Each structure stands twice: as C-alpha cells, then as structure tokens.
A and B are shown apart, each in its own frame.
Chain A
Amino acid sequence: MVPGVLNPRAGRTADAVPAGTPVTTAAGSVVVEGVSKLYASTDGEPSWALLNVSLDIRPGEFLCAIGPSGCGKTTLLNMIAGFTAPTRGSVLFDGRPIAGPGPDQGVVFQEYALFPWLTAQRNVEFGLQMRGVAKAERRERARASLDMVGLLGAADRYPFELSGGMRQRVAVARALVNHPRILLMDEPFAAVDALTRVTLQTELLRIWQEIGLTVFFITHNIEEAVFLGDRIVVMASRPGRIQRIVENPLPRPRDRGEGAFGALYAEVNEAFLRQGS
C-alpha cells in the first residue's frame, strides 16, 4: 500500500502541524459491517451486545446514537475506539481495520476520566507527552486547546477544583489536542446540570464546525440528539441492534422551540418507543 494515497494524513507527522492550528480534514470515516459482539452477562449466560450491525459514519459528520441501556451503543463506541474487537464482522476506520486505541480516535468518557493527579493543563498535555512532543510546543498546543474550550484561566487547577461542566470541557480539550480524525463521546454531558448541558452542546457544535472532524456522540437524551446530530441512530436492545436511522435536515443553528424541531423529536421518540414490538 502506498502511504498517502488511501490515507491523506499518512505523510503528515504531528510535529508538522503548527501549534494551535485547527486541522481541517475530510478523513474520519468509519464503516461498520455486519458486526456482532457476544458478551458474558452477569449471570454468566452469553448475550449479544450487538447483532448484525452495519453503519457508515461519513467524514465530517455529527452522528448521534440513542437507545436504552443494553442496546450496545457503548460497545459500538468501544469498538471504534479500539478497546474491544467484534466477535464477527469488521470495523474499518478510514479504510483500515482498527488495530487498537490511539490518538486518532479521541474519546470523551461518560464519567470524569481526567487524571486527578494532574492539573487541567497537564491533563491536556498528557497525550502529546506520550508521543514525545517537546515541552514548549506541548505547552503551547495545550493552552490553545484549553482556549478553544474557554478554560485558559483554569489551566493550573486540579480536576477536583473544577465543576462538572468544566471537567468535561477539559476532557474535550484533552482529546482535541491530539488532532483526532474522529471524536467519540459516550454520554459526555449526562452528569452535568441541564443549563450547563445546553451551553456545552452549543460549544461542542462551534468546535465541530471550526475543526470539521467527525463526531460519534452517544446520548440517552432525545432532545440532545435532535439538537446535535446530522443523523440519529436509534438502537434497540436484546439483542443490541439498529432500529432506525433518522436523517436530521434541520438547518443550524437549530431552535428547540421551532415546530420542525418538535416534529423531529416526535419522529425519533416514536422510533425509540416502537423498538421491541
């Protein structure tokens, strides 16, 4: 395989990117094909977390996945992240099988996964440090990333000194500083209060539009999915599968009070309720 032909980013090293420059790229596509995953449930019985799931995530797309617990949405995210491998089927990331987790697939976790022993700045620097980026550049890029999420002022604080919303902003900055081609988010705003959540959603959209990366966003909140997603994957459980994929044609910025928003909400809600029947 000739490097750079299939993967437009293959020739570029992390060091060639000037500090703080958002990377605009068309890469970041995921092809999930006929994927099934068997798990041992708590009583020891095998159960299908996912069964025959196929899904295309388009480059630059904001894709939301929604479903009840046990529908396999987190399993799907973990596969794209490289934490688990499918029992059957394949997951391709920009045309290649996923070898394992890495900075190309940025992950923002459900709970606060920041390292409590590092300040916000050092948390954001962590990924760069792991790849041997020089100290001065590391600091500059971390500060640019914190600035993007509006937390430059809190750079020297420890996670315990930050509110829930601020922590998740740091988590986003920590993933973005590595210039991932896809950002995987597992109910990232579930633990923050409703008002903060709305702010975080708007900010996330702004960053997504600025950088132009692919986002795969798991939520259990229909309104959040309709507000954020280009498409909404509605999943069902036992076995975990895709119930329906809803296109979201609403222009941005979206208005929650609009009639079209409510109509789409109802459509997703109906797909959500119909599962299992």
Chain B
Amino acid sequence: MEARLTAPPIPAAADAALTEDEKLEIENRFRRDIAAGRRRRLRRGLLLNLVGVLIFLAVWEALPRLVPGVNTQMFPPPSGVVMTLVGMMTDGSLAAHAWSSLKRVAAGFVIGSTAGILVGLLTGRLAMAQSLSDPVLHGLRSIPAIAFVPLAIVWFGLGETPKVALISWGTFFPVWISTFIGVRDVPKLYVQSALSLGASPLNIMFRVVLPAALPFVFAGLRHATAVAFVIVVAAELVGASSGLGYLISFSHLVFRIDMMFVGLLALGALGFLADAAFAALLQRVFPWYRSERNG
C-alpha cells in the first residue's frame, strides 16, 4: 500500500518500454486519482451548500434581535419557527393541510396536462385545428389563471371542484404550448420513416410524434407543476377550510406569523420535491434524450 502512494517507479533507462504490470499499475493509479478527485469535489460542493444554508439561517436568526424596531412576533426567527413546526408536525395538522393541497394539485395537474397534451398533439399536427383554435386559446392564455378565482367560486361553490378546476385550467396552457412546439418541430424523417414502415396515422401520432416530442412535453409538465402550486395557494386563500393556502390565510387572521412561516416553508419544500421528482423521472424515462441532443 505504502509503495503506491509514492511516485510511479521510474524505468531504468529512458527508452525502456513499460511492462504489462507497470502499465496496469499506472492505469489503476490514474483511475483511482480520478475517482478520488471526483469524490473530493462532490464533498466540497455539499459542504459549501450546507454552509450557505447555515449562513442564511444565522442572518435570519440574528436580524430580528439586532435590528431595532423589528418585533420577533412579526418576524419570527428560525428557532421560533422550528418550535411551531415541530408542534404542528406532532399534532398532524401540517400533514393534513399539506395533504389537502397536494390532492388538489395532483387532480388538477392530471386533468389539465392530459388535456394540454391532447390539444397540443392535435394543433401541432393539423394546420386546420391550429388556425381554428389559435386566437381563442392564446386569448384565454393571456388571462392570469388566478384572476378566475372569484368566478370559480361563483360557478363551483366552496368545495374541491373550484380548486381542481382552476388548477386544471392553469396547467393546461403551459403543457399545451410546449407539446404544440414539440409536435410541430418533430423531424420530418421520423414521420416519413414510420410511413414507409407501414404505420397508420394514429400510430404515427402516438408512437412516433408523441415520443419524439416528449422532451418538450416534459418541459411543459415541469413548468405546469410550478403553476399548479401558485394556483392552489391562490384558490385556498379564499373560500377554503383546509390546505396550506388556508393555513397561511388563517394565520393572518389570528396573527400567528410563525404559523404563516411554517406554511411558507411547507410550500417551498413541496414545490422543491415535486420539481426534483420531475428531474429524476426525466433521467429515467429518457435515457436517450440528452445524448441525442448533444450529438
């Protein structure tokens, strides 16, 4: 072991050829060095991530105490938020609120993105469908989805329906737009290949055009998850009796800013996890994608 850590053995003469053993030894050392370097960089990166978070928390903890005129009631430091967080986790109220929001997001997301993919396929493939739907869809898309919150309450009441409908509405547009672009730009060769291999129009749509456009579709879906969280909060701020948006609005009424912070933290965590899950899924579903794009 000791010998391997020193410099590689120098051949007796400058022109002496490396023996097989020496070659193997040098190759192995080289491989080990690369692996070690990679591990070192990874550890360093993670350490710096952690340091960044700690600095952030420290500044937050210190700010309300050091800056004159800041009330810890109004701006609770992390220590106070953690106490509330632990309390709400043990009594299960946080999980209940998070679960209500998550259910609405999931239902709305599934409905909205399914519709978005189907309409995207249709408008991307058929020029007639595109011309027919373009002005209306683009017009509707320009209206911010949360502007429909009051209308949704008037139409669907205070139950689950208005929330799910709003999220479906909001997620539809980004999925539709990116599916449309992906479908429109599918290389013609793929379609011609499929035609010459005997594929029917329906098969071309779902077995060639859709897979070819999937990376775009996925980008739209990822965007749509973020949109879904924005809308669920907006919908829950008014006319809800559960959910993280409701928790925040309720905390406002009872002046529990610490509870409000817990709601914000939970939203951030859920959004982050949803996005990370998407990125991981992308790697699994499209092993072919990244390399294909790079050449």
Q: Which residues of A contact B (CB under 8 A)?
A: 81-83, 100-103, 105-107, 109, 111, 113-118, 126-127, 130-131, 158-161, 174-175, 178
Q: For chain B residues 263-295, which have a beta carbon within 8 Å of chain A? A: 286-289, 291-292
* 5 A-B interface contacts by CB (under 8 A): A102-B195, A105-B196, A106-B196, A130-B197, A175-B197
Interface membership of B122, Cβ < 8 A: no
Beta-carbon contact of B190 and A107 below 8 Å: no
Q: Which of B103-111, B207-215, B241-249 contacts A (4 or more CB under 8 A)?
A: B207-215
List the 4 shortest-distance A-B pairs measured between CB atoms, nearest first.
Answer: A127-B197, A160-B291, A101-B195, A113-B189
Q: Select the residue from A107, A117, A118, A174 with max chain B CB neighbours within 10 A.
A: A117
Beta-carbon contact of B198 and A102 below 8 Å: yes
Say what secondary structure dominates the interface of chain B. Answer: helix
Please report the number of residue pairs spanning A and B whose Cβ atoms sit closer than 8 angstroms: 77
Nearest B residue (CB) for A78 = B192
Interface membership of B194, Cβ < 8 A: yes
Excluding A114-B193, A117-B289, A160-B288, 16 further A-B contacts by CB distance (< 8 Å) are A81-B192, A81-B196, A105-B196, A115-B193, A116-B288, A117-B214, A117-B286, A130-B194, A130-B198, A158-B287, A158-B288, A159-B292, A161-B291, A174-B197, A175-B196, A178-B197
The answer for the CA separation of A198 and B289 in the assembled complex, in Å, is 31
Chain B nearest CB from A243 CB (Å) reads 27
Beta-carbon contact of B194 and A160 below 8 Å: no
Interface membership of B200, Cβ < 8 A: yes
Interface membership of B73, Cβ < 8 A: no
Please give, as numbers and ranges, the residues of chain A lying within 8 Å of B288 by CB-CB distance: 116-117, 158-160
Chain A nearest CB from B204 CB (Å) reads 9
Q: Select the residue from B198, B207, B292 with max chain A CB neighbours within 10 A.
A: B198
Beta-carbon contact of B190 and A113 below 8 Å: yes
Q: How large is the interface on B (under 10, 10 to 19, 20 to 34, 35 or more residues)?
A: 20 to 34
Interface membership of B205, Cβ < 8 A: no
The answer for the CA separation of A106 and B203 in the assembled complex, in Å, is 18
Q: Which residues of B contact A (CB under 8 A)?
A: 187, 189-190, 192-200, 203, 207-208, 211-212, 214, 286-289, 291-292
Partner of B198, one of A103, A117, A159, A160: A103
Beta-carbon contact of A127 and B291 below 8 Å: no
Beta-carbon contact of A117 and B196 below 8 Å: no
Nearest A residue (CB) for B187 = A113
Beta-carbon contact of A116 and B193 below 8 Å: no
Please give, as numbers and ranges, the residues of chain B lying within 8 Å of A106 by CB-CB distance: 196
The answer for the CA separation of A78 and B225 in the assembled complex, in Å, is 43
Please give, as numbers and ranges, the residues of chain B lying within 8 Å of A107 by CB-CB distance: 192-193, 196
The answer for the CA separation of A158 and B285 in the assembled complex, in Å, is 13
The answer for the CA separation of A22 and B289 in the assembled complex, in Å, is 35
Please give, as numbers and ranges, the residues of chain B lying within 8 Å of A100 by CB-CB distance: 195
Partner of B200, one of A81, A130, A178: A130
Chain A nearest CB from B290 CB (Å) reads 9
Nearest A residue (CB) for B203 = A130
The answer for the CA separation of A111 and B286 in the assembled complex, in Å, is 22
Nearest B residue (CB) for A112 = B189
The answer for the CA separation of A127 and B292 in the assembled complex, in Å, is 22
The answer for the CA separation of A102 and B292 in the assembled complex, in Å, is 27
Beta-carbon contact of B192 and A115 below 8 Å: no
Known: A116-B292, A160-B288. A131 touches B198 (CB 8 A): yes
Beta-carbon contact of A103 and B196 below 8 Å: yes
Partner of B189, one of A109, A127, A159: A109
Please give, as numbers and ranges, the residues of chain A lying within 8 Å of B291 by CB-CB distance: 158, 160-161
The answer for the CA separation of A270 and B286 in the assembled complex, in Å, is 50
Beta-carbon contact of B197 and A160 below 8 Å: no
Please give, as numbers and ranges, the residues of chain B lying within 8 Å of A126 by CB-CB distance: 194, 197, 199, 207
Chain A nearest CB from B233 CB (Å) reads 36
Please give, as numbers and ranges, the residues of chain B lying within 8 Å of A111 by CB-CB distance: 189
Known: A116-B288, A160-B292. A101 touches B196 (CB 8 A): yes
Partner of A115, one of B196, B198, B212, B287: B212
